[in-house]
């Protein structure tokens, strides 16, 4: 973890540049590899039906460190890479009976990181919101191909930088878009209450938290 502080501009940044460079090197990515501009392409639709179908495919996937790569992505996402939350969440749902299609998605994420190793978290003084936490929440509807589950996504910011974020598959299948939205809001409010209590403990009192 690299931390840079600019006292003049009242900024502090966190990134995992060196860690990610080692990850890229470990999994065979170098300056000749093509970087991608998005964490996940819209044409990727993962499902259990894409699992191993032939002996040749089974032999190929047996040589792939899929779980190791996904674990590496999850670690980066939890620490500083909010931008790959959804992509990492999607590939982590498929850890068994993998097919080449699953691996193609993971490689895409790695190639996105190749072009964004400098990306991380940035916190700076905000005269508008001050020390107030602001949250944003949304969900899709029935985006999961296997069980038609919806995905909840939220992020909370403080000092103009993210302090809590998540992208997870909802445990209950929503029958309507409204239901999916309600379930997403509930999870975000639970996180907001936890953050409020945590910040109160360290002397950053939150009388009101905005969630959009």
Q: At what angle do helices 17-26 and 66-79 cross, to 10 degrees?
A: 170
Residues 6+ apart with CB under 8 A from 43: none
Q: Are residues 98 and 152 in the same domain?
A: no
Q: Are residues 21 and 109 in the same domain?
A: yes
Q: Are residues 97 and 14 in the same domain?
A: yes
Residue 148 has pLDDT above 70, yes or no: yes
At residue 28 the predicted structure's pLDDT band, cuts being 50, 70 and 90, is confident
Residue 184, CA atoms < 13 Å, CB-side half-sphere: 29
Is 152 within the bounds of a domain? Answer: yes
The pLDDT, as a whole number, for residue 52 is: 66
Q: Are residues 72 and 165 in the same domain?
A: no
Q: Are residues 109 and 129 in the same domain?
A: no
Is 119 within the bounds of a domain? Answer: no
Q: Are residues 94 and 8 in the same domain?
A: yes
State the total domains in the chain.
2
Q: Are residues 16 and 108 in the same domain?
A: yes
Q: Are residues 93 and 146 in the same domain?
A: no
Residue whose C-alpha is closest to residue 172's, from 199, 198, 200, 142: 142
Q: Are residues 90 and 144 in the same domain?
A: no
First CA to last CA distance, the chain: 30
Is 83 within the bounds of a domain? Answer: yes
Task: Indicate the residue among 77, 95, 114 that finishes a domain.
Answer: 114
Residue 89, CA atoms < 13 Å, CB-side half-sphere: 20
Task: Indicate the residue among 85, 114, 143 that finishes a domain.
Answer: 114
DSSP 99-145: -HHHHHHHHHHHHHHHT-TT--EEEE--TTTTT--EEEEEE-SS--T
pLDDT for 52-96, tens place per residue?
677 787 788 888 899 999 999 999 999 999 999 999 999 999 988
Percent of the chain with pLDDT over 90: 73
Q: Are residues 74 and 133 in the same domain?
A: no
CB atoms within 10 A of CB 152: 24
Task: Indicate the residue among 92, 114, 136 that finishes a domain.
Answer: 114
Is 120 within the bounds of a domain? Answer: no
Q: How many residues does the chain have?
A: 212
Q: Are residues 190 and 152 in the same domain?
A: yes
The pLDDT, as a whole number, for residue 58 is: 79
Q: Are residues 83 and 173 in the same domain?
A: no
User: Range of 141's domain?
Assistant: 125-211
Report the mean per-residue pLDDT for the chain: 93
SS3 call for 187: helix
CATH number at residue 203: 3.30.420.10
Residues 6+ apart with CB under 8 A from 130: none
């Amino acid at each position: 973890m690299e931390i840079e502080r600019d006292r003049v501009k009242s900024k502090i940044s966190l990134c995992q540049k060196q860690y990610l460079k080692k990850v890229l090197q470990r999994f065979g990515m170098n300056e000749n590899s093509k970087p991608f501009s998005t964490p996940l392409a819209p044409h990727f639709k993962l499902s259990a039906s894409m699992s191993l179908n032939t002996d040749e495919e089974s032999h190929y996937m047996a040589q792939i460190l899929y779980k190791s790569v996904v674990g590496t992505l999850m670690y980066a996402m939890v620490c500083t890479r909010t931008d790959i939350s959804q992509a990492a969440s999607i590939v982590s749902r498929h850890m068994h009976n993998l097919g080449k299609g699953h691996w193609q998605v993971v490689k895409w994420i790695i190639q996105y990181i190749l072009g964004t190793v400098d990306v991380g978290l940035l916190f700076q003084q905000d005269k508008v919101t001050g020390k107030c936490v602001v949250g944003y929440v949304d969900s899709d509807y029935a985006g999961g191909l296997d069980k038609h589950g919806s995905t909840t996504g939220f992020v909370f910011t403080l000092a103009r930088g993210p302090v809590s974020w998540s992208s997870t598959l909802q445990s209950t299948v929503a029958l309507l878009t409204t239901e999916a939205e309600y379930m997403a809001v509930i999870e975000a409010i639970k996180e907001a209450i936890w953050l409020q209590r945590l910040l109160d403990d360290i002397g950053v009192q939150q009388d009101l938290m905005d969630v959009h």
